[in-house]
Amino acid sequence: MAAIIFMINKSLKIKGMSCAACAARIEKVLGKIDGISKANVNFATEKLNLEFDENKISFKEIEEKINKLGFSVVRNLKKESFKVSGMSCASCAARIEKVLNKLSGISNATVNFANESLQVEYDEDEISLKEIKEKVKKLGFELKGNNKSTSFKVEGMTCSACAARIEKVTSKM
């Protein structure tokens, strides 16, 4: 039976290149790695176009190779917050954290049992929000809505009554 090959195409932003020779060095090193079929670097745009077989090499391993060369991959990190339903103890929160933090593409996941919340920082080029929600659901929990919050700098308040008035008005939004 023939093996199924999963070729992944990625376009990455690379930081730390100072000349075209840097780009050529990245191409040369990555081009010699088994599992990478294409590695083209454009110095002017700081972009690496990559094609690789995820059965032979992971994105994390490729990123480590780039880091060892003295360059870095710029990640497209996003932060989201959710309410988590179905947790009955702190061990539930720890379990969710442990599983999510092992997933490729998640840089940090923190679950607070007391306020039933999850804060997750992830690379949306590597893992989708849908995949994160599905993983949590498989553990027996449910994520509800994004708890979006926005911070503002408010000027002109002169007393605690001013702050109370702002809190009252914004809580109705």
Give me the residue spans of the domains in the chain: 7-74, 77-146
Q: Does the pLDDT value for residue 173 go beyond 80?
A: no
Chain position carrying tokens 């994390």: 60
What letter represents residue 103's amino acid?
Answer: L
Distance CA 31, CA 26 (A): 8
Q: What is the pLDDT of residues 69-106, one digit of tens each?
A: 999 998 778 899 999 999 999 999 999 999 999 988 88
Q: Judge if 7-74 and 77-146 fold alike in CATH terms.
A: yes
Distance CA 43, CA 162 (A): 53
**In the CATH scheme, what is the code of domain 7-74?**
3.30.70.100
- pTM score of the predicted model: 0.54
Considering the four listed CATH numbers 1.10.10.10, 3.40.50.1000, 3.30.70.100, 3.40.50.2000, the one that applies to the domain covering 77-146 is 3.30.70.100
- pLDDT score for 172: 64
- pLDDT score for 1: 53
Residues forming a β-bridge with 123: 77
- pLDDT score for 151: 62
State what percent of residues in the chain have pLDDT above 90. Answer: 58
